[in-house]
Amino acid sequence: MESRYNPAEIEEKWQKDWAEQGLYKTSEDPSKPKFYALSMFPYPSGNLHMGHVRVYTIVDVIARIRRMQGYRVLNPMGWDAFGLPAENAAIERGIHPARWTYQNIDQMRQQLNQLGISFDWEREVTTCSPDYYRWTQWIFLQFFQAGLAYQKEATVNWDPIDQTVLANEQVDSEGRSWRSGAKVERKQLRQWFLKITDYADQLLTDLDQLSGWPEKVRLMQANWIGKSTGAQVTFTTEAGDEIIVFTTRPDTLWGATFMVLSPEHPLVEKLTTKKQAKAIKAYQEAAAAKSDIDRTAEGREKTGVWTGSYAINPVNEAKIPIWIADYVLMDYGTGAIMAVPAHDQRDFEFARRFNLPIQAVVQPAGETLDGATMTAAHPGDGVMVNSGPLDGIPAGKEKGQSVEAAIQWLEKHGKGKGTANYRLRDWLISRQRYWGTPIPIIHCPQCGAVPVPETDLPVRLPEDVEFSGRGASPLAKLASWMNVPCPTCGTAARRETDTMDTFIDSSWYFLRYPDAKNEQQVFDPEKTNRWMPVDQYVGGIEHAILHLLYSRFFTKVLRDRGLLNCDEPFQRLLTQGMVQGKTYKNPRTGKYVIPANIPDFANPTDPETGEPLEVVYEKMSKSKYNGVAPGDVVNKYGADTARMFILFKAPPEKDLEWDEADVEGQFRFLNRVWRLVTEFGDQRSGIGDEKSSALHTPHSALSKDEKDLRRAIHIAIKEVTDDLQGDYQFNTAVSELMKLSNALTDAACKNSAVYAEGIRTLLILLAPFAPHITEELWHNLGYRHSIHTQPWPAVDPEALVADEITLVIQVMGKTRGTIQVPASADKAALEQYARESEIARRHIDGKEIKKVIVVPGKLVNFVLG
């Protein structure tokens, strides 16, 4: 028998063997309960990093355990393969995006296989492949038919470097592109949107169903949707036009002394008087050049222009001036606000700047606010004043009844109604880029936007395009592709040249895995419904908002189209922590130092200046010289050690500090297991089939040593099983495995059947964590079937019962020692054992015992006189 643990040799051997026998092919056995384990699929950048290794290892352990526990498990993998980097590679290096992408996929698939991940590769999906994006297009047409996909002229964020439109969330807080870092400009373009706002309320209320999600993520989603309740109120202009505003404080309507419209509001032109026209036009142009973030930044000096017109305040018939100001955004609320300067700080600053009247309508207790002398708005509580029917009512958004009373009054008088408003905007999905799913629409001068007939899908990306990186999308420059007859009337028409946001591709990929090769349908609803919802989803917190929200939205729309039975796609969600590497930084210059240049790690100094270096753990990155390549670790220690380290070092949701010494610790542990099992195997030959080696001796007939060992075995089974339910405490599970290996090393009954049970159990419990070494040792013991097809061991409750317990003896509350007593002893017996003990005799020494306190199973305390 091979005596040295050689991971390189056994890992490759078993990976090949598993692939050949199709060990991880998904079972569709209907008699088994289902378990859908899902990792967020990666962008094929070409290289697996430690963050990837962590996610896929976590999901793999979960999938392996569930299989052993008798579930049919779906554990698929795919590629989120459209996107800008591939197109940038084309521009920079002249390599076609498709070639670059597929090369990267091949490389990463191989790297994943080296980790021993049990993916079912037969279900692999690649979003840039026509057999996938055909169905992305089909889903888009479902949205289009449902009235959930529409075009509208929109002010968009324009990245002048990448020459593309960015979503709001791709612009950072300084108004720069998340990718190129360029200062984002504003531009008007006709764009495609998905109407996610139609589902805002469901997306919010259904968060309550997601008890298996981190509270933090649910909160982030709720804040993103941003529901606020209040009223819609209709103001009328002198010319008779209606201006609708949304307000969360309709109770302060009597204090509205002017209105402010967004510069883009459609009524502005009509409202602007001749005298004001020039000033208004100039202001509109200036506003168009600013980003939303600039426009709404707090503390910014207020600017605005009066239109020259007035509106009538519907509650008191007051004539109030209508202004425009850039802090009001057209795509938030209705693009118009009523201004209540006494009770809103932004309106207050605006009123002071332009000498507009301020009317207090909420008086705080013990004060008399006067608009003329106020120095700041009073947004807080108080009592309603100067408000006609509301006077005297307690006011305030939270505690007061004034908002409710105001809504009732508005509804009764037909001047408004109670309603909710959402921060969530419709989803802008148009991208003026090549490497994405073409939007399957043809623009006909007669018929308008005509969907490409389903039988003509996919609309394929043409291959012979030029990548300059400048100007419009490469698709818009390809006349042969763009010019087509209208499918309805035959008139010469043009294809839509925009492609879809890649977040669309990833909003439904998990629905394709259950039926990944279907060429007739997006998926067979029966097949997909047999697997949905996903039981455990694992991925990064950076996807806590958009990807998860969009996937939830798609699930609800496809449910409403009759394709899905579930309301929510992901039952449980685990957001894994980061993998951090050790960095060496000069605290004065802020420069990172390459570790190889540091002369002495015990006392690290800057090789250039000699100054002492700061040592901290930070997210792995090239610029910090703290990355560890997964391939290097696998080559040095093997995949099993890498997996063990990642699982052991930190709970999955916490950040993990990469530490070479701890990696070696896991390597040593696996070597111990190797020796333990190999020695055992050498002493007995031919254990035979796994089924025949069950323990036949009744538990009660075992010796004390055997009972002790058997207890250790079954405690390990219980603890590891518990750790892998629900919250997945892999780190404590690995600790339990180490304890069991120690108990086996120390066991005094190595010839017993119990010892054999222990060795077998250790291997089976360890198998999901370290799949290669356990498979090798299992076969070395003579078993013929894969360890990964073995049933998960069950806890024998009888084995857990301890024969003896440790009893603490206290005198006057002070612990004096412990004794071993039978576990079955009752209160009286425990007192008797304690009284007769050497410890009691020594510490009581003839003194009078006034009282004895017995805590069963734990301690006996003597109170002396």
Residue 812, phi-psi category: left (phi > 0), alpha (psi -120 to 50), beta (remainder): left
What minimum distance in Å lies between the beta carbon of 485 and Zn ion?
8
Among residues 465 and 486, whose Cβ is nearest to Zn ion?
486
What minimum distance in Å lies between the beta carbon of 190 and Zn ion?
18
Task: For residues 34 and 533, give the distance between their C-alpha atoms in angstroms, rounded to a whole number.
Answer: 10
**How many chain residues touch Zn ion (CB under 5 A)?**
7
**Pick from 52, 395, 44: which is nearest to 251 by CA?**
395
What minimum distance in Å lies between the beta carbon of 455 and Zn ion?
17
Among residues 495 and 512, whose Cβ is nearest to Zn ion?
495
Among residues 59 and 444, whose Cβ is nearest to Zn ion?
444
What minimum distance in Å lies between the beta carbon of 487 and Zn ion?
8
> Helix 660-683 and helix 639-649: axis angle, to 10°?
120
DSSP summary character for residue 42: P
Helix (H, G, I), strand (E, B) or coil at 300: coil
What minimum distance in Å lies between the beta carbon of 194 and Zn ion?
24
User: In the chain, how long is the greatest CA-to-CA distance?
Assistant: 114
Among residues 472 and 492, whose Cβ is nearest to Zn ion?
492
- Using CB under 5 A, which of the segments 11-19, 438-446, 536-544, 815-823 binds Zn ion? 438-446
What minimum distance in Å lies between the beta carbon of 247 and Zn ion?
45
- Using CB under 5 A, which of the segments 299-307, 445-453, 622-630, 798-806 binds Zn ion? 445-453
Among residues 23 and 449, whose Cβ is nearest to Zn ion?
449
List the x/- string, 171-200, binding to Zn ion by CB under 5 A.
Answer: ------------------------------
Give, in degrees to the nearest 5, the angle at Cα 677 between 715 and 778: 90
**Pick from 118, 296, 39: which is nearest to 769 by CA?**
118
Task: For residues 829 and 409, give the distance between their C-alpha atoms in angstroms, rounded to a whole number.
Answer: 78
**Pick from 848, 819, 847, 846: which is nearest to 831 by CA?**
819
Among residues 65 and 444, whose Cβ is nearest to Zn ion?
444
What minimum distance in Å lies between the beta carbon of 459 and Zn ion?
17
Neighbours of 567 (CB within 10 A): 13
Binder to Zn ion among 318, 447, 482, 545 (CB under 5 A)?
447
Task: For residues 452 and 105, give the distance between their C-alpha atoms in angstroms, rounded to a whole number.
Answer: 30
Q: Is 320 in the site for Zn ion (CB under 5 A)?
A: no
Binder to Zn ion among 6, 419, 446, 725 (CB under 5 A)?
446
What minimum distance in Å lies between the beta carbon of 449 and Zn ion?
10
Three-class secondary structure assignment of 329-374: CCCCCCCEEEECCCCCHHHHHHHHHCCCCCCCCEECCCCCCCCCCC
Contact positions with Zn ion (CB under 5 A) in 479-538: 486, 488-489, 491
Q: Which residue has the tokens 């700047």?
A: 353
What minimum distance in Å lies between the beta carbon of 450 and Zn ion?
6
**Pick from 798, 805, 730: which is nearest to 765 by CA?**
730
List the x/- string, 91-120, binding to Zn ion by CB under 5 A.
Answer: ------------------------------
Cα distances from 97 to residues 32, 90, 438, 439, in angstroms, run 42, 6, 15, 18
Give the CA count within 13 Å in the CB-facing half-sphere of 202.
16
Binder to Zn ion among 196, 444, 579, 763 (CB under 5 A)?
444
Among residues 492 and 855, whose Cβ is nearest to Zn ion?
492
Radius of gyration of the chain (CA): 35
What minimum distance in Å lies between the beta carbon of 443 and Zn ion?
9
Neighbours of 287 (CB within 10 A): 23
What minimum distance in Å lies between the beta carbon of 631 and Zn ion?
55
Residue type for position 817: G
Which uninterrupted H or E stretch holds 158? strand 149-159
Among residues 488 and 780, whose Cβ is nearest to Zn ion?
488
Among residues 494 and 619, whose Cβ is nearest to Zn ion?
494
Residue type for position 777: L
* β-pair partners for 229: 420
Among residues 243 and 493, whose Cβ is nearest to Zn ion?
493
Among residues 376 and 492, whose Cβ is nearest to Zn ion?
492
Give, in degrees to the nearest 5, the angle at Cα 322 between 370 and 229: 75
What minimum distance in Å lies between the beta carbon of 145 and Zn ion?
17
- Using CB under 5 A, which of the segments 259-267, 441-449, 681-689, 823-831 binds Zn ion? 441-449
Among residues 357 and 487, whose Cβ is nearest to Zn ion?
487
What minimum distance in Å lies between the beta carbon of 192 and Zn ion?
19
Among residues 390 and 452, whose Cβ is nearest to Zn ion?
452
Three-class secondary structure assignment of 110-127: HHHHCCCCCCCHHHCEEC
- Using CB under 5 A, which of the segments 286-294, 410-418, 439-447, 810-818 binds Zn ion? 439-447
Task: For residues 765 and 771, give the distance between their C-alpha atoms in angstroms, rounded to a whole number.
Answer: 10
Contact positions with Zn ion (CB under 5 A) in 743-772: none
92's CB contacts (< 8 A; 6+ apart) are none
Contact positions with Zn ion (CB under 5 A) in 42-61: none
- Using CB under 5 A, which of the segments 22-30, 96-104, 444-452, 571-579 binds Zn ion? 444-452
Binding site for Zn ion (CB under 5 A): 444, 446-447, 486, 488-489, 491
